[in-house]
Amino acid sequence: MFRAPEALSTPHGRAPARSSLFFTVFFLAFFFQAGAVTPAAAQSGGQITAARTWPAQDYTRITLESQEPLKYSVLNLKDPERLVLDLEDIEVTATLTGLAEKIGADDPYVKSMRVGRFKPGVIRVVFDLKSEIKPQVFTLAPVADYGHRLVLDLYPLEPPDPLLVFLDKLQAPREDAVDPAAGAGSKAPARSAPKRPDVARLIIVALDPGHGGEDPGALGRRGTHEKTVTLAIAQKLKARIDQEPNMRAVLTRDGDYYLPLQTRVEKAQRVRADLFVSIHADAFIRPHARGASVFALSEKGATSAAASWLANRENAADLIGGVNLQGKDRYLKMTLADLSLTAQINDSLKAGRAVLAELGGVNDLHKADVEQAGFAVLKAPDIPSILVETAFISNPDEELRLRSTAYQNKVAEAIFNGIKRYFAKNPPLARDRIALIP
């Protein structure tokens, strides 16, 4: 699985003369080095124990895992766009070269990947890119089941603005849209007039499928990942909300990749959501723990030890999912210490109770009332925010139900009914919203 790193200086498939010159130099260097110092095998050190890729429109993440911290350097090259990763004292194994096959044609940013020996003791990994990117490269210390991780996050130069993405989707004509202007004899194309909601105030609900990508969330005994269940339920809930003329839902993530907790909150704020609903599936050490529960934020300690335990576990998602702490300035934006969250929490409790009441119709309730704890993802000061634990994925019966489409639909419907009930009693105030509605 060795591929010549010829494209380090030229586009691949071209300039064979330069390639062979490169190899002559390469082998000479290799023999001098090997003869003068140590046998080549002695220079190989660690191994890549796992290699993963998480492609998404937001960013593509590539993770290399190893037992020892990796010694690396990174180069961003132009014409054509490439990201070059040099790894020291690493063996070339099938795990590393096999990453190339994991890069799908639909990856928004990475075209292909090649591995080659660059010089003695240094392996060069070249990622051929589809466009210019802004890389963030950082390491993560071992946590949970992971060893040392080297993370390459490939961001677009212009990150998609959640609000513009939302507005684009809102303005896009629906398949079933009927243009009222297109009467008999009219030549107006059917798709010319987007169908806009005929209401004075559009309610926007941000739905946040918990976990994703490197962070699978809780695991069921049958191997069900919380991140998969949460996304499935959130997508069904979004479809249900979008059927309402006066409501639209926005997903914080719509794929299998990790989003830092802070980014989830920021996305909801960017679209000026009227409600934030983070969707999860609980786990507990005791497999008989069961039932749905709903949480709101607490400013002063948790309402129970279990709620505190759960908040700590959910807040640890960033450690497992992997957040670049070098980019700290991005996260300083929201220093919440000075902001009172009392009003937000009051509204969140109302929304939470409405949702909990509906969930009681499809599942046992783990707790009869909304609990509170310091969940980081519920800290938008201006958006009522709740976290729904739909069921216990650690309970074998509930895991089975969580996997079924029928049950996912029931849960989505229940949360939807709760949301509707909440807004019926607490209509959002009119505000100087961007002119979404004519």
From 159-167, 206-214, 267-275, 359-367, give the range in contact with Zn ion by CB under 5 A.
206-214
Give the total of residues touching Zn ion (CB under 5 A). Answer: 3
Considering the complex, what minimum distance in angstroms separates the CB of residue 355 from Zn ion?
16
Long-range contacts formed by 101-108: CB under 8 A, 24+ apart = 102/51, 102/52, 102/53, 103/53, 103/55, 104/55, 106/55, 107/53, 107/55, 107/60, 108/55, 108/56, 108/57, 108/60, 108/156
Q: Please identify which residue in 5, 213, 217, 321 interacts with Zn ion, judged by CB under 5 A.
A: 217
In the complex with Zn ion, the residue whose CB is nearer, 126 or 307, is 307
- Expressed in angstroms, the distance from the first to the final Cα of the chain is 59
Task: Say which amino acid occupies 2.
Answer: F
Q: Indicate the helix (H) or strand (E) that contains 15.
A: none
> ∠ CA(256), CA(262), CA(264), 5° rounding?
45
231 contacts 212 by C-beta, under 8 angstroms: yes
Residue 204 β-bridge partners: 248
From 86-94, 132-140, 278-286, 304-312, give the range in contact with Zn ion by CB under 5 A.
278-286
From 11-19, 58-66, 177-185, 216-224, give the range in contact with Zn ion by CB under 5 A.
216-224
> What Cα–Cα distance (Å) separates residue 340 from each residue in 272, 295, 331, 378?
19, 18, 19, 13
From 2-10, 75-83, 197-205, 277-285, give the range in contact with Zn ion by CB under 5 A.
277-285
Q: Tokens 């802070």, residue?
A: 262
> Of 250, 162, 238, which is closest to residue 206 (Cα–Cα)?
250
Considering the complex, what minimum distance in angstroms separates the CB of residue 273 from Zn ion?
20
Considering the complex, what minimum distance in angstroms separates the CB of residue 352 from Zn ion?
16
Considering the complex, what minimum distance in angstroms separates the CB of residue 52 from Zn ion?
20
Q: Please identify which residue in 149, 238, 240, 280 interacts with Zn ion, judged by CB under 5 A.
A: 280
Query: Alpha-carbon distance 370 to 373, whole Å?
Result: 10
In the complex with Zn ion, the residue whose CB is nearer, 210 or 220, is 210
> Structure tokens of 79?
């014409």
> Residue 382 class from Cβ within 10 Å (0-12 exposed, 13-18 middle, 19+ buried)?
middle
Considering the complex, what minimum distance in angstroms separates the CB of residue 334 from Zn ion?
21
In the complex with Zn ion, the residue whose CB is nearer, 167 or 219, is 219
From 104-112, 174-182, 203-211, 359-367, give the range in contact with Zn ion by CB under 5 A.
203-211
In the complex with Zn ion, the residue whose CB is nearer, 210 or 418, is 210
From 49-57, 69-77, 102-110, 275-283, give the range in contact with Zn ion by CB under 5 A.
275-283
Handedness of CA 232, 233, 235, 239 (dihedral sign): positive
Q: Please identify which residue in 121, 210, 212, 220 interacts with Zn ion, judged by CB under 5 A.
A: 210
Considering the complex, what minimum distance in angstroms separates the CB of residue 318 from Zn ion?
12
Considering the complex, what minimum distance in angstroms separates the CB of residue 171 from Zn ion?
33
In the complex with Zn ion, the residue whose CB is nearer, 280 or 401, is 280
Considering the complex, what minimum distance in angstroms separates the CB of residue 398 from Zn ion?
14
Q: Under the criterion CB under 5 A, does residue 213 sit at the interface with Zn ion?
A: no
In the complex with Zn ion, the residue whose CB is nearer, 255 or 428, is 255
Kindly write out the interface string for residues 323-352 of this chain, putting x where it contacts Zn ion by CB under 5 A and - elsewhere.
------------------------------
From 202-210, 258-266, 358-366, 369-377, give the range in contact with Zn ion by CB under 5 A.
202-210
In the complex with Zn ion, the residue whose CB is nearer, 305 or 429, is 305
Considering the complex, what minimum distance in angstroms separates the CB of residue 295 from Zn ion?
11
> Structure tokens of 10?
């030229």
Residue whose CB is nearest to Zn ion in the complex, by number: 280
Query: Alpha-carbon distance 89 to 73, whole Å?
Result: 12
Considering the complex, what minimum distance in angstroms separates the CB of residue 230 from Zn ion?
7
Query: Alpha-carbon distance 433 to 339, whole Å?
Result: 23
Considering the complex, what minimum distance in angstroms separates the CB of residue 226 from Zn ion?
5
The strand ranges marked E within 180-292 are 203-209, 247-251, 275-282
In the complex with Zn ion, the residue whose CB is nearer, 196 or 367, is 367
Query: Alpha-carbon distance 68 to 134, whole Å?
Result: 27
Coil, helix or strand at residue 116? strand
Provide the binding-site residues for Zn ion, judged by CB under 5 A. 210, 217, 280
